[in-house]
Structure 1
Amino acid sequence: MKKIEIDTFLKFQFVSNPSFSPDGKYIAFVVSNADRAENTYKANLYVYDMAEKKVRKMTSGGDAKSYVWTNDNTLLFPAARCSEVKKKQEAGEALTSFYEISPEGGEACHAFTVPAKIIGFKALPDGRFLMTASQDNHKDTRKKSYEVFDELPFWGNGLGYTNAKRNRFAVYNRENGELSYVACDWTDCTQSSVLGDLLLYKAYPWKQNVRGLNEGIYLYNLKTGETKTLLEPDTMHTGTIELLNENEALVAAIDSDYRYTNKYNSFYKMNLADGSMNLFVPYDASIASGSVGSDARYGSGRGQKLLNGDFYFISTVDDFAWLRKLDKDGNISDSLTKGSSCDSFDVNGEHLVSCELQGTKLAELYLDGEQITHFNDFVGEEYSVVTPEAFSFTASDGYEIHGWVMKPADYEEGVSYPAIFHIHGGPRTVFSDVFHHEMQMWANAGYFVFYCNPRGSDGRGTDFGNINGIYGTVDYQNLMDFTDEVLKRYPQIDTARVGVTGGSYGGFMTNWIVGHTDRFKAAVSQRSISNWVSFEHNSDIGHTFIVNNQGANTRENVELLWKQSPLQYAPNCKTPILFIHSDEDYRCYMAEGLAMYSAVMRNGCPSRLCLFHGENHELSRGGKPENRIDRMTEILNWMDQYLK
């Protein structure tokens, strides 16, 4: 069997975003792959023919990253294939061209060009399209020589500078080319649901001030253009929305002040006449999204759907992301999918198609539970894929902790091996038994690899997941207890050759660990946080995240934030530590990594910082192929240097 190397991910085919055609004859989906030569990712459309039970490739240009089915059973996708349009876009003109292709084959033909930068779109029942347009309200006054900030937040991870930019909903009529906007220039629109002539949407109207955390909910009549406010912004925390009928909507929301508890949403019903909300079904898990971590996926897809009064949604439960159904009577089903992580899905009443990571198999499509695509079967057939060994134990705080251990791919009894402890981000995410390329690569390089879901992780309810204001306490102890348990269960691990790494929250925890213990012989801190006081004011989510994760802000209790900051304990660090950061990571800004690096360097501690240009918080999962390779090379070299 071949070893899984750093660059093996270049061979993966990333399947995502399945959906049934309106007539139910086809399933469309996207397949993406890393292109090292061009240092980017290519994506093409495919269809699965329900009658012939065959997969057919629809495009080959590598530019079909998103699509919708039209009411006429054709596929519509945005692409810049015209040289004239490309020149105008490069010159700063807001244009988006759409192409159309039949699922039965043929060439994609130009359908229309919208006079706006379109970042999202869906077909409406009347043949028009609901577009999400990115609008720059300061476009005519911007200068290349400097940026102007006059609102908060002013940047976004993966988005760049966002000051005065808004995502607006608009209705496009392809018959006459008319684009009519739903809300004003300064309204930021986020979610939508359509039923007949009704458009229910979430939005936050703001101009040159501070954007709050909670959007308002509005009802727009697609026929008359009238808008009604159902819920004012910043009055209640809400999640996903879905129109049930002409009189009510399903809304995920929190019933009380969640500010210091980090609670999950429950299901509410909203009266469309007056906006009143009534609890429908209590729920204590995520709604319409999964959080299973992996660096072996690319693309997006549907996380929720209402069909015939039943609401289908992805939810992280325990250590897995399942598809569930909330029926009209308020009953929530068990899992409708089999895999470790249902990433996206569609349902048409007769059939269910899901894009899943099942154990150590990469994402494929499953129709009614049966695998129908086989793009990545070669990985398990040709490479030394290591199956994680799961176990749970009771930590010192009385909570059950779930974890996994991967043995080295060339494992032999009686041989002593080094190990790498991997800590997930979030912290409201989970590790699972899914294929994780980086960890498979470490195992193939001769390491034990172990990881777990400590308190603060997703999938176990509010009580387990709420560590607001106590970062670095119970979660740190869980991780140390888990390390002790792994070393006890696997004596083949050399306790003198164990390293630790993690990104985002895992980077925070790596920084925290090296300031509190010398038990690890090497560390790699990635896209980390070192100082919650500065994080509040430089992260794109800082002014909102800090309160419902750290229990205070600098105006209320700066002492608490500093108490939870790894930078305070950096003078204790003796562990050789590598820092990985990106200069366009506006989630965990590079100042966090630079501060911790500077502090430990003053200790005389072996340290190194790699700052990747043009990358953001997603470097390890969606960064440019060459940068992903360089990042993994730096990490493996660092571990090898101190652990082998």
Structure 2
Amino acid sequence: MTAKQTVQQEDLFKLKSVTNPVLAPDSSEAVFVVTQIDKEENIYHAHLHHLDVNTGNSTQWTYGKERVSQPKWSPDGSQLAFLSTRDDKNQLYVMHSTGGEARKLTDYQNGVGSFLWSPCGTKIWLTSTVIDGKTFTDKEEKDEKKQPEALRVTTMKYKADGAGFVKNDRHSQIGCLDLESEEITAFTEDPFHHSLQAVSHCGKKLVIGVNRAENNDFDFRQPLVLVDVETKEETVLVDEQGYFGGAAFSRDDRYIAYGGSDRTFENATHSALYVYDCENKTTLNLTEALDAPVGDAVVADHQQGPNPPEAVWTEGNYLYFQVTTMGDVRLYFADLDGSLYPASPESEHVYDYDVAKNGQFALAAISDPVNPGELYRLDIATGERKALTSFNETYVADTILVKPDTIQLEGAGGFDIHGWLMKPANYKEGSKYPLVVNIHGGPHAMYGNSFFHEMQVLAAQGWGVLYVNPRGSHGYSQAFVDAVRGDYGGGDYQDIMDALDDVLEQQDWIDKDRLGVTGGSYGGFMTNWIVGHTDRFKAAVTQRSISNWISFFGVSDIGYYFSDWQIKADMTDVDTLWKHSPLKYAEHVKTPLLILHSENDLRCPIEQAEQLYITLKSMHKETEFVRFPEADHNLSRTGKPNLRITRLNELTGWFEKYL
């Protein structure tokens, strides 16, 4: 019998991400997407698989060096459409459900963003970015000798992390593609971004999202409108500051469900599930009594491209949707009379799903801390479940995976602090081990009961791992998630340190003289803050961090409003911005600090790392700086595979050196 192996950095190449389950109209079969990293090519492959729901037999349907996404069955189940990058840009393909080669339907300059079947099954609605005044099929003229051109900037939202500079002469438009002729008819042409939300079952109505403000620098709306396909007459469903989307028609087309959050607490506001009654023209907040956010707020590093629906309607006008709560993401049920209850168990992460039309079962992609994720059939009435895939079964069987223990303590201000503690993979009773505190980003996100490769890597090195959800994290009360705003480095810092003190008191295996701390984004900010306010940590690694709120205001793609929302200060109050800036406290840093940052990060631009590094060096502090080319803010989750491995090696190497 072969001995089990500890988790390694390069296990990223062994793991498979199972996502995008979509049931056929008769619910007897389904398709889903499996993503794996190609080590030699240094790229991600995502392929379409077919599943017999009753037998659990699955078959791979697509191959090659491509990424497939957004699979959708035709209304009669005879065809399947999906997006694929097999020719570089995401283009639309259709194949027969009985098999055969997929037919490429589009060859647009900027690819296809999203699509929905028309109920007739002969047309497909889709979105693509189109140059103003051009058509879907027009292509930009290429001049091989073209000289570099200056970029004129007239708005504040002129760049976006992961996308680069935003060109203001092109917008996302909606068109209708005829499958037989392959000709597309433009449905929208105005110079605004349009999102395709839903098509009614009768085929006569669309729900689209569009903000027609001439300048949206301080406008954070995506109004949802119900549009008559023939007359283009519009009925507004929602038009207020906030984020709304994911619309879906009920089976009888009377109701439209959608998710979203207003700006009562800016971007800390809980998301809710709303239902619009097309007959009475009234809107109901179905989750108003639920003090937890609708959707999935878990942060992890394994699942690739999950695309769960905002809500799924079943017969009888019942709804199913995700709720983030107490470290879990659970499937919930609701009806229009106010009933609301969970439809999946605790202690797991339902990260993607679909529900049969009759509501008898769900097809769910589920993970937990020692399960990278598989598809399961969940019987709604009995709660029974059946595993339908086993893509990571061999990996789990052959690998030492550490199951974390849940911790909970009373924090400052009466808030309960919730988190997890992992023992080292090689733990032996009576021995002492270092501990690494790992802090999530956001801050309005959540560590959860989900597989996290990075955590397992740290435990495999022989260290304990503590990760908690301090105030500001999602998954708890509205008061809890809002409590961090205007108090960065206050109660949130106290929550983390209180949790650390609690486990040090309770666990005698932790060597209190060998503590490390790390985190990314907001977690990077907090790592910087911690080393400037205490010297109890022997090593720290800050990733994609914020060090200076004054410069962040002007250089981040979201800085000019995020600073106001989160720090509650702008450039008219630089004293407050500086008060909350870790750079201010650089002279107090005694902890050896490794700085990891992506060069193309526009969310927390690399100048934040540069300022911190040069300042610490000028003060003769112990620090090093690692820059990652061709990487943005999401390096640790979706970055180039070789750089993800390098990042993990740098992280573990620094702690190995100092712990």
With normalisation by structure 1, the TM-score equals 0.91
Contact map agreement 1:511 1:525 (CA 8 A) in 2 = yes
Contact map agreement 1:117 1:135 (CA 8 A) in 2 = no
In 2, the alpha carbon distance for the partners of 1:330 and 1:295 equals 36
DSSP 3-state at the match of 2:224: strand
In 2, the alpha carbon distance for the partners of 1:275 and 1:259 equals 27
In 2, the alpha carbon distance for the partners of 1:510 and 1:222 equals 52
Q: CA deviation at 1:208?
A: 6.3
After superposition, the Cα gap between the structure-2 partners of 1:247 and 1:332, relative to the gap in structure 1 and judged at 3 Å, is same
In 1, the alpha carbon distance for the partners of 2:647 and 2:561 equals 30
Q: CA deviation at 1:105?
A: 3.3
Q: Aligned match of 2:130 in 128, 131, 135?
A: 135
Q: CA deviation at 1:96?
A: 5.8
Aligned to 1:345: 353
Q: Aligned match of 2:217 in 210, 221, 226?
A: 210
Pairing of 1:143-222 with structure 2 (within 5 A): 144-164=148-168, 165-190=170-195, 192-195=197-200, 196=202, 197-207=204-214, 210=217, 212-222=219-229
Contact map agreement 1:578 1:607 (CA 8 A) in 2 = yes
Aligned to 1:301: 307
Contact map agreement 1:546 1:553 (CA 8 A) in 2 = yes
2:602 corresponds to 1:607: no
CA displacement 1:77-122 (0-9 Å, x = unmatched): 23355xxxx5xx7xxxxx7643333344333344554565212122
For the aligned residue pairs, the C-alpha RMSD in angstroms reads 2.6
The one-letter code of the counterpart of 1:367 is R
2:288 corresponds to 1:282: yes
Count of matched residue pairs: 629
Q: CA deviation at 1:283?
A: 4.5
After superposition, the Cα gap between the structure-2 partners of 1:311 and 1:62, relative to the gap in structure 1 and judged at 3 Å, is farther
Aligned to 2:42: 39
- Of stretches 614-623 and 335-344 in structure 1, the one that deviates more from structure 2 is 335-344
Aligned to 1:472: 489
After superposition, the Cα gap between the structure-2 partners of 1:494 and 1:306, relative to the gap in structure 1 and judged at 3 Å, is same
Aligned to 1:319: 327
Q: CA deviation at 1:284?
A: 4.6
DSSP 3-state at the match of 1:187: coil
Contact map agreement 1:58 1:103 (CA 8 A) in 2 = no
The one-letter code of the counterpart of 2:550 is V
In 1, the alpha carbon distance for the partners of 2:47 and 2:634 equals 22
The one-letter code of the counterpart of 1:484 is D
Contact map agreement 2:209 2:245 (CA 8 A) in 1 = no
- Tell me the percent identity: 30
The one-letter code of the counterpart of 1:295 is D
Pairing of 1:386-401 with structure 2 (within 5 A): 386-401=402-417
- Of stretches 100-109 and 198-207 in structure 1, the one that deviates more from structure 2 is 100-109
Pairing of 1:323-472 with structure 2 (within 5 A): 323-336=331-344, 340-348=348-356, 349=358, 350-368=360-378, 369-466=385-482, 467-472=484-489
CA displacement 1:165-207 (0-9 Å, x = unmatched): 4333322222333323443342123461221321112222345
- Of stretches 244-253 and 148-157 in structure 1, the one that deviates more from structure 2 is 244-253
Contact map agreement 2:56 2:389 (CA 8 A) in 1 = no
- Of stretches 458-467 and 130-139 in structure 1, the one that deviates more from structure 2 is 130-139
CA displacement 1:440-484 (0-9 Å, x = unmatched): 111111111111111111111111111211111000000011111
The one-letter code of the counterpart of 2:591 is T
Aligned to 1:521: 538
Pairing of 1:97-136 with structure 2 (within 5 A): 97-111=91-105, 113=107, 117-127=111-121, 128-136=123-131
Aligned to 1:92: none
Aligned to 1:628: 644
- Of stretches 435-444 and 123-132 in structure 1, the one that deviates more from structure 2 is 123-132
Contact map agreement 1:265 1:285 (CA 8 A) in 2 = no
DSSP 3-state at the match of 1:464: helix
In 1, the alpha carbon distance for the partners of 2:363 and 2:418 equals 29
Pairing of 1:562-577 with structure 2 (within 5 A): 562-577=578-593
In 2, the alpha carbon distance for the partners of 1:60 and 1:261 equals 40
Unpaired segments ≥5 residues, structure 1:
90-94
DSSP 3-state at the match of 2:152: coil
Aligned to 1:495: 512
Aligned to 2:84: 79
After superposition, the Cα gap between the structure-2 partners of 1:544 and 1:243, relative to the gap in structure 1 and judged at 3 Å, is farther
DSSP 3-state at the match of 2:525: helix
- Of stretches 111-120 and 406-415 in structure 1, the one that deviates more from structure 2 is 111-120
CA displacement 1:333-370 (0-9 Å, x = unmatched): 22335661111100122331001103411110001221
The one-letter code of the counterpart of 2:94 is E
Q: CA deviation at 1:575?
A: 1.2
DSSP 3-state at the match of 1:552: coil
Q: CA deviation at 1:288?
A: 4.9
After superposition, the Cα gap between the structure-2 partners of 1:275 and 1:9, relative to the gap in structure 1 and judged at 3 Å, is same
In 2, the alpha carbon distance for the partners of 1:187 and 1:211 equals 16
Contact map agreement 2:292 2:324 (CA 8 A) in 1 = yes
Contact map agreement 2:423 2:465 (CA 8 A) in 1 = yes
After superposition, the Cα gap between the structure-2 partners of 1:98 and 1:242, relative to the gap in structure 1 and judged at 3 Å, is closer
Contact map agreement 1:260 1:547 (CA 8 A) in 2 = no
In 2, the alpha carbon distance for the partners of 1:365 and 1:280 equals 28
Contact map agreement 2:224 2:245 (CA 8 A) in 1 = no
Q: CA deviation at 1:602?
A: 2.0
The one-letter code of the counterpart of 1:70 is S
DSSP 3-state at the match of 1:33: strand
Q: CA deviation at 1:420?
A: 0.8
Unpaired segments ≥5 residues, structure 2:
134-139, 379-384
Q: CA deviation at 1:52?
A: 3.7
DSSP 3-state at the match of 1:98: strand
- Of stretches 308-317 and 364-373 in structure 1, the one that deviates more from structure 2 is 308-317
Aligned to 2:556: 539
